[in-house]
Amino acid sequence: MGYPFTLEEESRGMVQKVVELCSFEKLSNLEVNKTGKYDLMDKFEIENRSFFRKGTVGDWKNYLTPEMAARFDQISEQKWKASGLSFNVTSS
């Protein structure tokens, strides 16, 4: 991070390879993420697959209240403000 790809790396397709290796599809289908477990302070065991969701548009409504979503939007907008990105979110 913080270092651009060289022209040689780009011409060899390295950018696309990194994108593919980091894709949701690739990561969620790794065997460790399907069957592995994460120990939380040696008290709780969480299955790694719990960290991946379906990725269905609007599915957040099944997990977050409108208040939680508004707070998430507020925090996200504050954190990304310096980047120059703007959030023009409309409710659906």
| pTM higher than 0.75 | no
List, in sequence order, every residue forming a beta bridge with 45; answer none if it has no partner.
39
77-92: per-residue pLDDT in tens?
A: 888 888 877 766 665 5
Task: Provide the pLDDT for residue 77.
Answer: 86
Q: pLDDT above 90 covers what percent of the chain?
A: 25
DSSP assignment letter at 61: G
List, in sequence order, every residue forming a beta bridge with 31; answer none if it has no partner.
none
What is the torsional sign of CA 24, 81, 75, 70? Answer: negative
